[in-house]
Amino acid sequence: MSRSAPSALPVFISSLSKHYGAFCAVDTVSVDIAAGEFLTLLGPSGSGKTTLLMMLAGFARPSSGSVRLGDQEVVHLPPHKRNIGMVFQNYALFPHMSVGENIAYPLKLRGVGRMECGERVGKVLDLVQLGGYQDRRITQLSGGQRQRIALARAIVFEPRILLMDEPLSALDKQLRETMQIEIRRLHDRLGMTTISVTHDQREALTMSDRVAVFSRGRLAQVAAPKDLYERPVSRFIADFIGESSFLPVQKVSGGLAYGGQLLHLADAADADLPEPMLMLRPERLDVVYAGQAARDENTNMFNGTVRSVVFQGESLLFEVGLDQGDVVQVRQSNRSQCTENLPSKGERVDLLLNRFDTRIVRGEG
C-alpha cells in the first residue's frame, strides 16, 4: 500500500445500482477504497465498470445507493462540484487552447491568480516530464504526450480523487507499458486516491493496489493483484486474469478427486466449494516423460499425451490431452538445457503440479 497524501480521501461505495429500463448496468455494488489507494475496475466491455466510474464522476445518476468521499455524500452533486480529477479515454484535450491553457483551465475556474497559475502549471509539467511545453499546441503533441498533459490537467488542482477511464488504451503496446510504470510512480509520489477503469488485465495488475473485477454489473472479486491471480474465487476470475485450464473434480471422502485419484490440495477447505473445479495455470505445471517422476504427497500427477507444442519465444506452450479426455495447457520457459529434453508431439507424458499450486475454484460461468 502506498503512502497517502494528507488531502487524499477514502471513497465509500455502498449498494450502488444503475438501471437503464430493464437492463441493470451496475447491480448493488459495494466497495470501500482507502485514502491514497489505487483501485482498478477491471472487466470485459459492458460489465458495468465504466458506468460505475461515470457515477463516481457525476455524469450518470445512480438508480439507488450511495457514494461518499470521506464523509460527504456526493450522489446528488453535479460533476463540477465534486472536485474529482478525471482522465478520459481519448484525453479530450481542448484543441483551441495551448498546453499551458489546458492545464490552467481548472485553476482559472477556481480563481487562482495568474502568477500562481503559471507556477503550478510549470510544476505539474515537470512532474509529467514535459517541462517547458506550456506554449505548444495540442496538435503538436504525440499520443504519449497528450496522455501526460491530460493527466497533468486532471491533477493540477489537487483533486481529492483521480478517476481514469481506460487511460492507456489509445497508446501502442510499448508506450502503454512505460506509462503504466510511470502512472504508478506518480501515484506513489502524490498519494492521491485513484480509481482507474481498464479491460487490460496486465495494466490492472501492474498499476493497482487492488483490482475490482466486474462481471455483468456485479463485483466478482476485489483483491490485491497477487491474491487475485493466486486465489481467484471463481472460474470467471481465473479465466479473466491470466491463462488457465480447468478440470472437473469429484467430491470424495477425504477431499476431491480427479479421474479417481485423490488430489493433494493447497488448502483443504477448498474441498467444500460448490461446483469445484481444479484451476491449472500453464506455467505452474511441469511436463516430463511418462514414468520418470515419482509420486509423493506434495505433487499431483496427471497422465496424458502431447497434442501439440508451440514455440512462443520466451516459452513453449504444450497442449496435453489427458487420459480422462480433458485438454490442459502447459507453459515451459525456454531455457536451452531444459528445452532440449522436452517431449514432442504424440509422446506420453506426466504433468506434475505442486500441491501448493493446486487450487480449486467455484465452477460457475
What residues make contact with another protein under the rule CB under 8 A?
Answer: 57-59, 78-80, 82-86, 88-90, 92-96, 105-106, 109-110, 153-154, 157, 163
Q: How far is the CB of 81 from another protein (least distance, A)?
A: 8
Nearer to another protein, 96 or 226 (CB): 96
Nearer to another protein, 194 or 215 (CB): 194
Q: Which residue has the cell 485419484?
A: 261
Q: How far is the CB of 6 from another protein (least distance, A)?
A: 21
Nearer to another protein, 79 or 255 (CB): 79
Please name which of 301, 309, 305 lies closest in space to residue 321, comparing C-alpha atoms.
305
What distance in Å separates the CA atoms of residue 140 and residue 145, rounded to the nearest whole number?
Answer: 9
Q: How far is the CB of 271 from another protein (least distance, A)?
A: 49
Nearer to another protein, 28 or 89 (CB): 89
Q: How far is the CB of 101 from another protein (least distance, A)?
A: 10
One-letter identity of residue 207: M
Can you tell me whether residue 267 is helix, strand or coil? coil
Nearer to another protein, 78 or 248 (CB): 78
Please name which of 236, 238, 168 lies closest in space to residue 203, comparing C-alpha atoms.
168
Nearer to another protein, 59 or 356 (CB): 59
Q: How far is the CB of 86 from another protein (least distance, A)?
A: 4
One-letter identity of residue 68: R
CB contact at 8 A, 349 and 259: no
Q: Name every residue whose Cβ is closer than 8 Å to that of residue 246 and which is 6 or more positions away in sequence.
A: 235, 238, 239, 277, 278, 279, 280, 361, 363
Q: How far is the CB of 225 from another protein (least distance, A)?
A: 27
- What's the Cα-to-Cα distance from 321 to each of 164, 225, 305, 308, rounded to whole Å? 43, 31, 5, 9
Burial label for 64, CB within 10 Å (0-12, 13-18, 19+), is exposed
CB contact at 8 A, 259 and 328: no
Kind plus residue range of the DSSP H or E element containing 317: strand 315-322
Nearer to another protein, 7 or 89 (CB): 89
Q: How far is the CB of 107 from another protein (least distance, A)?
A: 9
- What's the Cα-to-Cα distance from 157 to each of 31, 84, 85, 177, 186, rounded to whole Å? 26, 9, 8, 27, 15
